[in-house]
Structure formats: structure tokens, C-alpha cells
Chains A and B, each alone.
Chain A
């Protein structure tokens, strides 16, 4: 089967030829699936021409626990500018907590205590990521499941900076490597008129 070169829909909104597509408002920027265990994943040089960002992470950490926090570091900022609050359900109870530090603990990876094909899933939304009038608030729904154990969680993170976000680095709490097949995707979401 031959390939079709995809082209954006014309400004007038008319499809111009078979195979032409309108990319819509949500654009995949970068996707990475790890071929080997990897200490960290960085999205750098993030384009500034979107309104919002969404990151989707499916991750497993090389440490003998059931679940491990994912950590985010923005623009390589290593100062105490990060805060996190969350609520988590275990299947039996719901608890909440908070922390602060030099990284943002938000999202989760499974550990090797889970079966080898079980990964944690985290979806992050960062609104107005390039707006220099705002500190950056991250919203994240995340969880993992392993037949007998699991968690569903909803959290928020604050990067106390008005700088536009141009890079995001993912690691795990304790710097255990992300394992093979962990998957990281960055999407840009346009504003109207863009």
C-alpha cells in the first residue's frame, strides 16, 4: 500500500485533496517510548505557540516497590519552587497529602513489585504554560492497577515561577530509572484564532 503525505487543511476550511487532514487543536509534539532503562526523560525546546500543554506518561520504575512517584523539574529549576497536593483512593479508603521541594512529585510509575506488564498512567494538563503573568499550576490524573492492588489519584502541582515553560524533565523519586517500554508524549493545545 502506498503512503499518503498528510497536509493541513486550507485556511478556508476546505479539504483540498484526498489525504489532506485538519490537525485540529491538539497537536502531538514529541513522543518517546524507551528502548532501554533510562534515568530521565526531557522534553526540551518546547514550542511557545500553543495555549496549553498535555503530557501523557505510561511508566514503570526499576525499584522493588508497588508504586513510585514521578518527579517533574521545569526549565531545569533546582530551587525550592515546587509544591504538590493530592487525593488518592486505594480501593478501600481515600487519603490526601501535600509536599514541597526542589522537584514536583506528581504522577506515578509502577515498581517491579507489580507484574512486568503493569505500568502506571499519568495525564498532566498545564494551562497557559507560556503566560508570564502566572505561576504554573499542573493538574494530573494518575493511577495504576495490578489485579489485587492499585490506586486512583488526582493531584495538582505548583511551579512558583512566572517564566514560560520551555523544558520538562521526568525522573522518579529516588532517581530509579524508567524501565523499557515506558512511554512519554507531549501535546500542544491551541487557542482559538491560532
Chain B
């Protein structure tokens, strides 16, 4: 396999939780970025939003999604910086969200479009699958990414996030 998929950094949340997982000083040497997240937060809901800051900014985000709840399919648009979902503390204990955040051309000088595939699970009839198309209307290269939970609560112990860099070729 070609040298196209490189691990940059992994963060595992310790006991007590943490408000935000921050990837700083992101190398500018890749074509795209991928973040794989397995997150659970203290939010008192099943599927709180997954929020993002790019370069420290929480503004300029718009997005649209299609989602399923286990019984219905729907769609909405968002301007709050919600880019996906994770598992909240009302979801079945020991379950964590599962998401891929794909950011192509993160060093480019255009606005940044990125996609998020995110799910959570629950041993009940209701669980959620969200596909997001997101836009950050900012032309700056992305040098830092912060991930946090909706509801201004901590991400819980054992949550993980790993940042990968994708190269078109060596």
C-alpha cells in the first residue's frame, strides 16, 4: 500500500473528561485530513451535536444533513457549527459515537468544504445516523482543529480522536 494514510496524533480522554480535544500545529504537508472519533459526552441526551472550531474559530460554519432516527428519515440545515453527532450520556452505557470527518484540501486558499459520517447506537429502537455536508467560509489554511460536545459539557473518559493525513502520492 502506498504511503498515503499517515497517523498524525491520537487523543484519549482520561478520567474526569475534557471540554475539548484540540489538534494544534497541524502539518501543512498533506493533501487531506481525516479524523476518526469515538466520543461520548456528559450531555443529557442520546445524540448531542459534535461541534468544531477551525483555527480557533467557531463562526462561518454552515451545513446540511440527511439523517435517520431508527424510524424516520429527515434533513435540516445548520449554522451553529454542529458538524455531526456523538453519543450523549442518555445513550446506552458504554456506547460511544462513531464518526469520520474528512477535510479535503485543508491547506488550500478556498473556503473549506468537508463531510462527516457520524452515528451513535443505543439498545433501543431509536439511534441516529447523520451524513453532513459542511462548509467553513474561510480561506485560511487549517492549522488547528478543536472538537467538543454540544451542551457545553465534557467529553467523557475513553473517548478517542485520531487525526490522519492523506497524501495523493509520495
Contacts and interface: CB of A to CB of B under 8 A. Distances in A.
Given A85-B70, A125-B36, A156-B121, A131 B158 contact: yes
Contacts of B36: 51-52, 125, 127, 189
Given A98-B71, A127-B160, A137-B95, A156 B1 contact: no
Contacts of A21: 1-3
B127 A158 contact: yes
A95 B129 CA distance: 12
Contact of B98 (A28, A138, A192): A138
Nearest to B119: A156
Interface in A13-36: 21-28
B73 interface: yes
A157 interface: yes
B6 A25 contact: yes
Interface in B124-170: 124-129, 131, 157-158, 160, 162-164, 170
Nearest to B87: A137
Contacts of A64: none
Query: Interface size for chain A: under 10, 10 to 19, 20 to 34, or 35 or more residues?
Result: 35 or more
A9 B129 CA distance: 38
Interface residues of B, number: 51
B127 A191 contact: no
B94 A135 contact: yes
Contacts of A92: none
A126 B160 CA distance: 13
Contacts, number: 166
Interface in A102-147: 125-128, 131, 133-135, 137-139, 141
B127 A98 contact: yes
Nearest to B8: A192
B68 interface: yes
B105 interface: no
Q: Which of A52, A96, A141, A162 has the most CB of B within 10 A?
A: A96
Interface of B: 1-10, 36-38, 66-73, 87, 92, 94-100, 117-129, 131, 157-158, 160, 162-164, 170
Interface of A: 9, 21-28, 51-52, 83, 85-89, 94-98, 100, 125-128, 131, 133-135, 137-139, 141, 154-158, 160, 162, 189-194
Closest 3 CB pairs of A and B: A87-B68, A96-B68, A156-B119
